[in-house]
Amino acid sequence: MKFLKAILKKILIPPLAWHRRFLIDKIDRKVDRNMILNAQILAHLHMESYRKMLANMANSGLANNRGGGESSLESNMESSVESALESNLPNFRKYSTESNSCVKSSSQHLQNGIFIEDMEFSVFSQNGEDGILDFLIEILGLDRQTCVDFKDSAREQKLDSADSKNTADSLNLNATNSTNSTKSQHSKTAIDSPNYSRAFIEFGVEDFSESNTHYLLLNRNFQGLIMDGGSENINKIKQSELYWKYDLEAKNAFITKENINALINSWLDSRSIKNVAILSIDIDGVDYHIWERIEIAPAIVIIEYNAIFGAEKSLSVPYRADFNRFLAHYSGLYFGASIKALVRLGKKKGYIFVGCDSSGTNAFFVKDEFREQVRHIKTRSLSAYCKAHNARQSRDKNGNLNFKSGSEREQEINQKIAQEIIEIAKL
């Protein structure tokens, strides 16, 4: 897409700038629609795999009583998943080879729980955050227009299976009965709007082209507040088609712990809402201190951690209102907080840590009241999440990338860490 835009910019001379803008915007919209369609198919497959896992867990004690054994049950379920997908997605056959392998590999992998990175896909997010967020929104029931409650689905399926004559029907995976079964087994979520409005807040978005909530805006039509310290970035957002098509507010603000609550509350009041479903923090700086100061408690929090700080200690850069990662250290590696510090802060604020994306960049937290809904989500060791981070974005004193990796990155900032970094007191 970027390559195509570059060609258009060179071919179309300045007097035809309006033609250039029209063509590029039109191409953007078509590409976005195709990417969103593919993401919706992936999301559907993810949820089918998740339902299948719940059904397997619920019926594991019943399989032997049926005489068919687990292999027979697995076979029936795989064909039922494909049948259900074909009936609900007209173009499913187009993706049959890829989709079948995805369903089978997922069903084999999702045995006794899932890791959130299993649900990754990226439309506008830097890594796989779009897929993770979409999955969490579904199982937590945060989009009341589309979500169903999976809280008791496993127990319901187990009870229904005891009296059912047909295995596929009992697991709610038979395409011919999927509509009626869904109505009876998966009622609308009980979580209501006063707790978490269909809205998000994200700061550190740059021009919003690559962010954690862009897909959420387009795919689910959530309201949103986005903020960035660059005025050019905000002006670009305000001139885009997104700004008049959706309820999106973009603010030019350099985030500090002194102004963050006033910025958030001002927007909440303007929309007559008290809380949001999603909060995404990525300012490459004093992220820990900002989250610590934020007063609202969204259902889901996404926050970047610094994997280079390691997993053993609760570390954060000290607070400075004007913190800049490249002014703090030429490498750009000295910023943020360790994953352990964020997990402890999350616990203090009433959140459950549910994992990180596969690139070792962002940590995900869910409000403690959703403990039942996320009981099947597994987490890895904190050191595993740090080791997953392989980005080589360090710079030399001249500002050029020097591609340091592994322990070289930590060695680059060891002296700075020893001089300035603070260790968060244990809870």
Residue range 52-85, pLDDT digits in tens: 988 888 887 543 433 333 333 334 434 444 443 4
> Which of residues 303 and 158 earns the better pLDDT score?
303
pLDDT band of 21, cuts 50, 70, 90: low
> Which of residues 143 and 349 earns the better pLDDT score?
349
pLDDT band of 164, cuts 50, 70, 90: very low
The whole-angstrom separation of Cα 104 and Cα 77 is 10
For 212-262, the pLDDT digits (tens) are 999 999 999 999 999 999 999 999 999 988 999 999 999 999 999 999 999
Mean pLDDT of 168-197: 43
Q: Say if residues 380 and 355 touch (Cβ distance below 8 Å).
A: yes
Mean pLDDT of 376-388: 96
The whole-angstrom separation of Cα 268 and Cα 274 is 6
Every domain range in the chain assigned CATH 3.40.50.150? 197-423
Q: 197-423: which CATH topology?
A: Rossmann fold (3.40.50)
The whole-angstrom separation of Cα 300 and Cα 353 is 10
Q: How do 300-304 and 362-367 pair as beta strands?
A: antiparallel
Looking at residue 67, its pLDDT comes to 36
| Burial class of residue 306 in the structure, from the number of CB atoms within 10 Å of its CB (0-12 exposed, 13-18 middle, 19+ buried) | buried
The whole-angstrom separation of Cα 326 and Cα 263 is 26
Looking at residue 111, its pLDDT comes to 60
Residue 341: C-alpha distances to residues 148, 215, 269, 308, 315 (Å):
34, 29, 31, 13, 6
Measured in Å, how far apart are the chain's first and last C-alpha atoms? 48
DSSP 62: T
Least confident of 162-166, 255-259, 378-382: 162-166
Distance of CA 197 to the CA centre of its chain: 17
